[in-house]
């Protein structure tokens, strides 16, 4: 059976790597877990490994924080000799963080097959670092494992071969459904003095929202107005903690420490509304059937808007307040997208273990030329581009 490296680097990866590792190992694959150390705060790291039952990493690279270039470069420098030593048949990367791109680039140059879980997601906003990471990672990947039909269509429109594209479903929902009963049994509501349906939940972490004091002040203004109708709970992401302390938080908004995975699912599941700038939370609330208002102008997960409970509100304070009031007055009906059924990891394992080797498979360069997308011109961000890179 093949030797496979699964790469995790930050909180958004942990919920994705666990079910894929389990599915591969159930089928007899040798799986090595590499943790880059992009997230190293115990509140963002250790608690998730414990909550999800993820075994300790086989290798920890310890790259830490830094600018995008510094962090990406450190991951590449640390991952390259490990790849030479281990000589895997396949490397699996997840999502869109800097570690994802860094390990993808090293793998593509070294020669093993490369699989990207959550391929094809697009926000059409080139100002988002994650968008650059997604597009570049897809370009060098052999297996493009798409979570939803829109992601698969994006890949087809960008000229990828059909044998590269696999619609497998959303692996994050595998983890959510596997842990939902544990979340429902959590005592986190009692610990925080909350009642089901009696509060809204807020998450803020994206640089565009928390690094600019003017933008963050506007969001806090909107949250303060909403809190007059619906008390809000905000688990504080380390990235936002300093800014929130500087600006001060309006009354009715309760700051709490970052929550572990099970407690956070419990908080989402019992909220009357969730306000977020997180892509993963958009997916989790859709699976849970909980109304979600996204504090961004775009989303790389449009299926949560089209087939779920998510509404895009942007970052204008008046629009946010109006949107939340409308959601509270008439919550959208729950709808769970197809293939968000808890079996995405099994489909991923089947694809990866029956797809051939680096010697027998066509590689990413064996493909048609780039496809020009005039229908994307004029959308927010640098979308007047020829895809792929």
pLDDT given for residue 24 in this prediction: 98
Contact call for residues 11 and 49 (beta carbons, < 8 A): no
> What is the distance between the alpha carbons of residues 320 and 113, in angstroms, rounded to a whole number?
44
Residue 80 structure tokens: 């390259």
- SS3 per-residue string spanning 284-309: HHHHHCCCEEECCCCCCCCHHHHCCC
pTM here? 0.89
Q: Tell me, rounded to whole angstroms, the distance of Cα 371 from its chain centroid.
A: 27
pLDDT given for residue 385 in this prediction: 39
Contact call for residues 328 and 230 (beta carbons, < 8 A): yes
Which DSSP helix (H) or strand (E) runs through 98? Answer: helix 98-110
Sequence-distant (≥ 6) Cβ neighbours of residue 367 within 8 angstroms:
159, 160, 161, 164
227-284 residue pLDDT tens: 999 999 999 977 788 888 888 999 999 999 989 999 999 999 999 999 999 999 999 9
Contact call for residues 200 and 271 (beta carbons, < 8 A): yes
> What is the distance between the alpha carbons of residues 173 and 185, in angstroms, rounded to a whole number?
18
The CB density around residue 365, as the number of other CB atoms within 10 Å, is 8
Written as one string, the DSSP assignment of 139-160 is: HH-SEEEESSHHHHHHHHHTT-
pLDDT given for residue 380 in this prediction: 43
The CB density around residue 114, as the number of other CB atoms within 10 Å, is 25
Q: Is 205 a catalytic residue?
A: yes
pLDDT given for residue 207 in this prediction: 86
Strand 371-372 and strand 386-387: pairing?
antiparallel
Residue 345 structure tokens: 């990891």
Nearest to 252 by CA among 291, 293, 180, 198: 198
List, in sequence order, every beta strand (DSSP E) within 36-125. Answer: 59-60, 90-94, 113-117
Query: What 3-state DSSP class applies to 197?
Result: coil
Strand 165-167 and strand 253-256: pairing?
unpaired
Q: Is residue 368 packed enough to be buried (19+ CB in 10 Å), middle (13-18) or exposed (0-12)? A: exposed
Contact call for residues 14 and 35 (beta carbons, < 8 A): no
Question: Which of 35, 68, 205, 237 does the annotation list as catalytic?
Answer: 205
pLDDT given for residue 42 in this prediction: 58
Query: What 3-state DSSP class applies to 58?
Result: coil
> What is the distance between the alpha carbons of residues 226 and 246, in angstroms, rounded to a whole number?
21
The dihedrals phi and psi of 143, each to the nearest 5 degrees, come to -110, 125
Q: Is residue 359 packed enough to be buried (19+ CB in 10 Å), middle (13-18) or exposed (0-12)? A: exposed
List, in order of start, the domains of the chain with CATH numbers. Answer: 3-169+341-387 (3.40.50.2000), 187-329 (3.40.50.2000)
Share of the chain above pLDDT 90, in %: 76
Place of tokens 């394992």: 349
Place of tokens 């581009």: 385
pLDDT given for residue 283 in this prediction: 96
> What is the distance between the alpha carbons of residues 313 and 324, in angstroms, rounded to a whole number?
8
365-383 residue pLDDT tens: 775 555 545 454 344 444 4
Place of tokens 């070294």: 110
User: Mean pLDDT for each consecutive 10-residue tract of the chain (389 residues)?
Assistant: 93 92 98 86 71 93 86 95 97 96 97 97 93 97 97 97 97 97 97 97 91 93 97 88 87 93 97 96 97 96 94 96 97 92 98 90 72 47 39
> What is the distance between the alpha carbons of residues 383 and 374, in angstroms, rounded to a whole number?
9
The dihedrals phi and psi of 103, each to the nearest 5 degrees, come to -70, -30
Contact call for residues 15 and 176 (beta carbons, < 8 A): yes
> What is the distance between the alpha carbons of residues 114 and 170, in angstroms, rounded to a whole number?
19
pLDDT given for residue 356 in this prediction: 85
């Amino acid at each position: 059976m093949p030797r496979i490296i699964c790469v995790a680097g930050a909180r958004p990866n942990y919920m994705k790597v666990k079910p894929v590792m389990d599915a591969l190992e159930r089928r007899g694959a040798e799986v090595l877990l590499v943790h880059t150390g992009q997230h190293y705060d115990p509140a963002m790291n250790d608690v998730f490994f414990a909550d999800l039952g993820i075994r300790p990493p086989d290798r920890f690279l310890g790259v830490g924080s830094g600018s995008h270039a510094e962090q990406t470069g450190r991951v590449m420098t640390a991952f390259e000799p490990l790849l030479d030593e281990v000589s895997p048949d396949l490397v699996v990367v997840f999502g869109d963080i800097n570690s994802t791109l860094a390990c993808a680039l090293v793998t593509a140059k070294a020669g093993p097959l490369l699989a990207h879980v959550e391929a094809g997601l697009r926000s059409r906003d080139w100002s988002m670092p994650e968008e650059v990471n997604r597009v570049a990672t897809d370009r060098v990947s052999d297996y493009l494992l798409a979570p939803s039909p829109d992601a698969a269509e994006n890949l087809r429109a960008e000229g990828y071969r059909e044998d590269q594209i696999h619609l497998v479903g959303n692996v994050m929902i595998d983890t959510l459904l596997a842990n939902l009963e544990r979340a429902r049994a959590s005592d986190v509501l009692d610990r925080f003095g909350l009642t089901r349906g009696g509060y809204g939940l807020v998450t803020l972490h994206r640089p565009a929202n928390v690094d600019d004091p003017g933008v963050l002040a506007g969001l806090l203004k909107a949250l303060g107005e909403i809190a007059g109708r619906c008390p809000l709970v905000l688990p504080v992401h380390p990235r936002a903690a300093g800014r929130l302390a500087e600006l001060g938080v309006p009354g009715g908004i309760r700051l709490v420490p970052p929550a572990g995975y099970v407690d956070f699912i419990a908080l989402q599941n019992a909220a009357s509304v969730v306000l977020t700038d997180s892509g993963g939370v958009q997916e989790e609330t859709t699976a849970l059937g909980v109304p979600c208002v996204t504090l961004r102008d775009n989303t790389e997960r449009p299926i949560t808007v089209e087939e779920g409970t998510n509404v895009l509100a942007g970052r204008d304070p008046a629009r946010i307040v109006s949107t939340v009031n409308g959601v509270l007055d008439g919550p959208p009906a729950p709808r769970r997208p197809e293939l968000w059924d808890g079996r995405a990891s099994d489909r991923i394992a089947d694809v990866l273990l029956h797809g051939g080797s680096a010697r027998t498979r066509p590689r990413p360069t064996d493909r048609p030329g780039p496809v020009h997308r005039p229908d994307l011109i004029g959308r927010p961000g640098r979308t007047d581009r020829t895809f792929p890179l």
